[in-house]
Structure 1
Amino acid sequence: MITINTSDNKKVYFASDQHLGAPTTEASFPREKKFVAWLDEVKEDAEAFFLLGDLFDFWFEYKTVVPKGFVRVLGKLAEIRDSGIPIYFFVGNHDLWMHDYFEKELNIPVFHEPKEFTINNKLFLIGHGDGLGPHDKGYKRMKKVFTFPLFKWLFKWLHPDLGVRLGQYMSVKNKMISGDEDAKFLGEENEWLVQYCKKKLTEKHYDYFVFGHRHLPLDIQLQENSKYVNLGDWIQYFTYGVVDKESLKLKTYK
């Protein structure tokens, strides 16, 4: 388990679901610039950053090729990491084919499953959030196919121009990027991630569960000393999480 204790006036920042490249590279460019501006602003008091997936709307790492574009956000992440600030990346359902590019080029560890962290003596369970909780069996089956080694091996033999174009087409067809239809609060009893968190609490205490994926900023009290926080997105809400010595709060970047 990784432990982070913030120095005086330092904070830990969380963000998720930027979906850069959707619906087109040109259309997402203002959002990329806005996200980079946020990174540039908050790095001044950052102890660490957590990026909880779907930074890109599609990402596939061939052995010697990665998708074209996103140089501003990649450059800013490299700058922040080179300055000594840790960054932790959790893959989402749109960038689940991430391999070791971030680790080798940017020195940013990549996690494919939720992971426990201790931050300022509080226990966090952190992840993207896709495929967790009850139901959504269709997506869970699809994820097993997409992460199956044979499927990835076959896909990499597509020429990158064809493979990336196909992947982008399939990603844009996913309604989750829109921030509209799926980003409606369903009530605690119908929110799968809420149900997942409540089940985890029967096994072990967590002070905070932090996830993305839902494209909806949520701050839900599960128990007296336990919260579920969803980070929203950078399509419609431009929300992020910040941890100081006292608590985790959701904020909006204007």
Structure 2
Amino acid sequence: MHLPHGKKIYFASDQHFGAPTRELSIPREQKFVKWLDQIKEDAGVIFLLGDLFDFWFEYKTVIPKGFVRVFGKLAEIRDSGIPIYFFVGNHDLWMHDYFEKELNIPVYHDNQEYTFGNKTFLVGHGDGKGPGDKGYKRMKKVFASPFSKWLYRWLHPDVGVKIAQYLSVKNKLISGEADVKFLGEDNEWLVLYAKRKLEKKHYNYFVFGHRHLPMKISVGENSTYINLGDWIGYFTYGVFDGETFELLEFKD
């Protein structure tokens, strides 16, 4: 993928808009929109790596209401010609084709490989990767199955969205602190996942979200694992200028 001279690649993840309530989420949405306004001046590509919403489900003719500021800004940026790529997370797992049809933003449900200049990237949300967490991996298969989605659609949207929002906000990544503590390189499962992938193929950068903790860790010779943090407490994002990758904090 060609990166025009003077342009940069931006990465962000785990905004969880809608949590803990729609009203309390709005200031974070406004801050994110300001960030998008700032980066559109030199963005060559924008990657959103999942959990943009704390809950998302697409019925055939209905989506969760709200998030107008975010949708409007993404539409404006995409219409200006800047590519945006979206990777579903575990909270917006049930995203289908709304982004593709309404915003012209491709949606991916698994990792993707990219090459910018002479640098190779493996990009994704990060949930369900690496060793352990077998319970979640089994649960994800159930929730991601076409039958589960078909069954859930039979719930009236007012009921289905309300139940899912309640359960989603109770998720420990939002309400607890245990999962935003560094576990050490030997226990960070996405670090272990990156090292395992390097046994078969070299990547310069592994870029993920999901952990809600900003991290930049060497995983091999000329290979770095980056976790983007979140837009709940850290407001961090990644930027690649064609040569180097930085993990930065957005300050309003």
TM-score bucket of the superposed structures, by smaller chain: over 0.9
**In 1, Cα distance between the equivalents of 2:217 and 2:175?**
23
Q: RMSD of the TM alignment (CA)?
A: 0.8
In the alignment, structure 1 residue 228 sits paired with structure 2 residue 225: yes
Show the counterpart of 2:244: 247
Matched, 1:122 2:119: yes
1:204-235 Cα offsets, whole Å, 9 max, x none, are: 00000000000000000111200000000000
For 1:195 and 1:178, how far apart are their aligned partners in 2? 26
What pairs up with 1:1-254 in 2 under 5 angstroms? 3=1, 5-178=2-175, 180-254=177-251
Gaps of 5+ in 2: none
Corresponding letter in the other structure for 2:60: K
Secondary structure of 1:44's aligned partner: coil
Residue 141 (structure 1) shift: 1.1
Provide the rounded CA distance (Å) in 1 between the counterparts of 2:86 and 2:117.
20
Letter in 2 for 1:210: V
Secondary structure at the aligned position of 1:66 is classed as coil
After superposition, give the CA deviation of every residue in 1:102-161 in whole Å (9 maximum; x if it has no partner): 000000000000010112221100000000000011111110110111111010010000
Q: 1:179 to 1:19 in 2, by over 3 A?
A: farther
Alignment partners' CA distance in 2, 1:121 and 1:156: 45
Q: How many Å apart are 1:179 and its aligned residue?
A: 6.4
Give me the TM-score of the superposition, normalised by structure 1: 0.97
Letter in 2 for 1:156: R
> Which stretches of structure 1, 4 residues or more, deviate above 6 A after TM superposition?
none
User: Residues of 2 paired with 1:124 and 1:41: CA distance?
Assistant: 24
**CA offsets, 1:5-38, max 9 Å, x none?**
2222210100000000001001111000000000
Give identity over the alignment, percent. Answer: 73
Letter in 2 for 1:232: G
Comparing 175-184 with 206-215, which one deviates more in the overlay?
Answer: 175-184
Q: Is the 8 A contact 2:50 2:86 kept in 1?
A: yes
SS of match in other structure, 1:60: coil
TM-score (norm 2): 0.98
Q: Following the alignment from structure 1 to structure 2, what is the Cα–Cα distance between the partners of residues 154 and 200?
A: 36
Q: Distance in 2 between matches of 1:44 and 1:76?
A: 13
Distance 1:178 1:225 in 2: 36
CA distance in 2, matches of 1:203, 1:179: 36
